[in-house]
């Protein structure tokens, strides 16, 4: 069992200069305390995401960490010029010594892509074409490689490829999953997955994924990571953890829904309730003492079949000190029990 972090980098009340510095200080703690991966969202024109250019923030992460793997979850591929994105991917993988995790997707919000002049109905086709193009460029030999591509949205002829990633043939792929029907293609291509759904649904996803993966690659092939994501707040007293979580989640939910409310719509492909108590009842939000969190996670990980735990310790208006305290209690009193259980 390994542990990672998911971070929307959603806005709080801190000035942005302080906001970025405090997030990077948390990233340094993740690195030092033994977390395996750090995944950040990409959002635009919304307080939900203060890292609309993931590569810029991740270049700072590369310099402030030594072991922590990191990456977008996800790059919204329809918004990128493929050649520019290939160059950014190669730079980040080289600058970090091969620690980049390449999350890809088409984007969840039609309003965000529309602000960029992309027709929402085209995003799936653009995503598939851009991914094929990016992977072809990353696999190209350098020096001396050249890219030729003829597609619906992009056409290139003999474009020199001068940059290459450290990880061959490309950094490992990651994808956010909510539907078990998405597993066959992902398993076929050895894509690592993360989901923030309830544990029983995650169990359905992981069982389908493992079956598809074994059929495609054999019983001896090592499984990719199947990550279970959770909002987590820990304090010495359960009552304090719940109070903090309720306050912080309310701010996060406001940021999550602001663009949808602006357009008199509701989020699609993502189900989050309005308050933390409902989130907790669903099992996708966890708050309490270390012992309570430990027992809840032990039960959920067994039910979900996940082999990777992805935590959100910083969200909404959580202060740096509140997030750090949750993190420290998790590492000291929760993580060892999860590791021991996984080994057992």
**Among residues of the chain, what percentage have pLDDT more than 70?**
99
150 in any annotated domain:
no
282 in any annotated domain:
yes
Please tell me the distance from the alpha carbon of residue 295 to that of residue 68, in angstroms, as a whole number.
27
203 in any annotated domain:
yes
Residue 231, pLDDT above cutoff 80: yes
Q: Which letter does DSSP use for residue 181 in this model?
A: G
Domain around 222: 2-73+173-343
Strand pairing report for 226-234 and 285-288: parallel
Burial string for 209-220 (b: 16+ CB within 10 Å, else e) reads bbebbeeeeeee
Residue 343, pLDDT above cutoff 80: no
pLDDT of 172-186, one tens digit each?
999 999 888 989 999
- The mean pLDDT of the chain is 95
Structure confidence at residue 322 (pLDDT): 98
121 in any annotated domain:
no
**Among residues of the chain, what percentage have pLDDT more than 90?**
92
Residues 6 or more apart whose CB falls under 8 angstroms from that of 178 comprise: 195, 196, 197, 201, 269, 270
79 in any annotated domain:
no
Mean pLDDT to the nearest integer, 54-68: 98
pLDDT of 1-46, one tens digit each?
899 999 999 999 999 999 999 999 999 999 999 999 999 999 999 9
Considering its fold, how many domains does the chain have in total? 1
Q: What is the pTM of this model?
A: 0.96
pLDDT of 247-295, one tens digit each?
999 999 999 999 999 999 988 777 799 999 999 999 999 999 999 999 9
88 in any annotated domain:
no
- CATH number reported for the structural domain that contains residue 294 in this entry: 3.20.20.30
What confidence category does residue 305 fall into, taking pLDDT thresholds of 50, 70 and 90? very high
Structure confidence at residue 215 (pLDDT): 96
What confidence category does residue 341 fall into, taking pLDDT thresholds of 50, 70 and 90? confident
Mean pLDDT to the nearest integer, 193-221: 96
189 in any annotated domain:
yes
Is the separation of the CB atoms in 80 and 130 below 8 Å? yes
Mean pLDDT to the nearest integer, 196-221: 96
What confidence category does residue 339 fall into, taking pLDDT thresholds of 50, 70 and 90? confident
Structure confidence at residue 266 (pLDDT): 87
Structure confidence at residue 12 (pLDDT): 96
Please tell me the distance from the alpha carbon of residue 183 to that of residue 181, in angstroms, as a whole number.
6
140 in any annotated domain:
no
């Amino acid at each position: 069992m390994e542990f990672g972090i998911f971070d929307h980098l959603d806005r709080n009340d801190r000035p942005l200069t302080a906001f970025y510095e405090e997030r990077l200080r948390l990233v340094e703690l993740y690195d030092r305390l033994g977390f395996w991966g750090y995944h950040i969202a990409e959002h635009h024109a919304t307080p939900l995401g203060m890292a609309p250019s993931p590569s810029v923030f991740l270049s700072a992460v590369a310099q402030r960490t030594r072991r922590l793997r990191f990456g977008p979850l996800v790059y919204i591929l329809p918004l990128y010029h493929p050649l520019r994105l290939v160059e950014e991917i190669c730079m980040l993988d080289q600058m970090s010594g091969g620690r980049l995790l390449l999350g890809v997707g088409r984007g969840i919000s039609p309003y965000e892509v529309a602000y960029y002049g992309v027709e929402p109905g085209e995003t799936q086709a653009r995503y598939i074409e851009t991914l094929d193009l990016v992977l072809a460029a990353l696999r190209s030999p350098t020096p001396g490689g050249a890219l030729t591509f003829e597609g619906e949205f992009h056409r290139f002829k003999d474009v020199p490829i001068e940059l290459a990633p450290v990880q061959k043939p490309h950094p490992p792929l990651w994808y956010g999953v909510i539907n078990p029907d998405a597993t066959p293609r992902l398993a076929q291509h050895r894509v690592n997955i993360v989901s923030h759904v309830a544990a029983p649904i995650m169990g359905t996803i992981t069982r389908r994924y493992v079956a598809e993966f074994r059929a495609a690659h054999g019983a001896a092939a090592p499984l990719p990571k199947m990550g279970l994501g959770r909002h987590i707040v820990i304090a010495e007293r359960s009552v304090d953890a719940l109070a903090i979580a309720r306050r912080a989640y309310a701010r996060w939910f406001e940021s999550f829904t602001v663009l949808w409310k602006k357009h008199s719509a509701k989020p699609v492909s993502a189900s989050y309730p309005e308050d933390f108590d409902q989130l907790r009842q669903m099992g996708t939000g966890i708050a309490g003492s270390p012992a309570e969190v430990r027992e809840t996670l032990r039960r959920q990980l067994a039910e979900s079949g996940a082999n990777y735990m992805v935590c959100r310790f910083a969200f909404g208006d959580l202060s740096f000190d509140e997030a750090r305290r949750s993190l420290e209690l998790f590492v000291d009193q929760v993580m060892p029990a999860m590791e021991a259980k996984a080994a057992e």
